[in-house]
Amino acid sequence: MRAVVQRSLAAKVTIAGQTVGAIDHGFVVLLGVGPEDTSADSDYLAEKISKLRVFSDDAGKMNLALADVGGQVLSISQFTLYADTRHGNRPSFTGAAKPALGEQLYDAFNAKLRDLGVMVATGEFGGDMQVSLTNDGPVTILFDTEAK
């Protein structure tokens, strides 16, 4: 699984002009699923992201996690994280999981975050979404479970 995690002051996702998910502050997580990924990968990633210490403490150091600051997650399914751009100018997405597996593991990731006490808002799997956020810092962290 691949995830782009952006520390955010506020974020929302809309579909056809209607807000379907929003957070005040926390992380926007763009999540991609690969064909070899498992529920162990989604659990691992949810644990890592929930404990990621990139919020400032009283000394101004990035030392606090979501729970420490009452942060939330806006989780967006993002198969394009598996784009292959090595050949030509049009990316190939054959490296992404099939939709059934992608949706299953996306849902498992969100459920695990909720089990860990994180408030999670989502977009719509496979939907045509518009995501807006105020990136705080900016802080953007990349995760890939193949590198664990």
Q: Name the residue ranges covered by the structural domains of the chain.
A: 1-142
Is 80 a catalytic site residue? yes
**Low-confidence stretches of the chain (pLDDT beneath 50):** none
Domain 1-142 matching CATH 3.40.50.10480: the answer reads: no
SS (H, E, C) the chain: CEEEEEEEEEEEEEECCEEEEEECCEEEEEEECCCCCCHHHHHHHHHHHHCCCCEECCCCCEEECHHHHCCEEEEEECHHHHCECCCCCCCECCCCCCHHHHHHHHHHHHHHHHHCCCEEEECCCCCCCEEEEEEEEEEEEEEEHHHC
pLDDT at 115: 98
Is 78 a catalytic site residue? yes
pLDDT at 148: 84
Is 130 a catalytic site residue? no
pLDDT at 8: 98
Catalytic annotation, pick one of 6, 55, 72, 78: 78
Catalytic annotation, pick one of 27, 55, 72, 79: 79
Catalytic annotation, pick one of 80, 130, 134, 140: 80
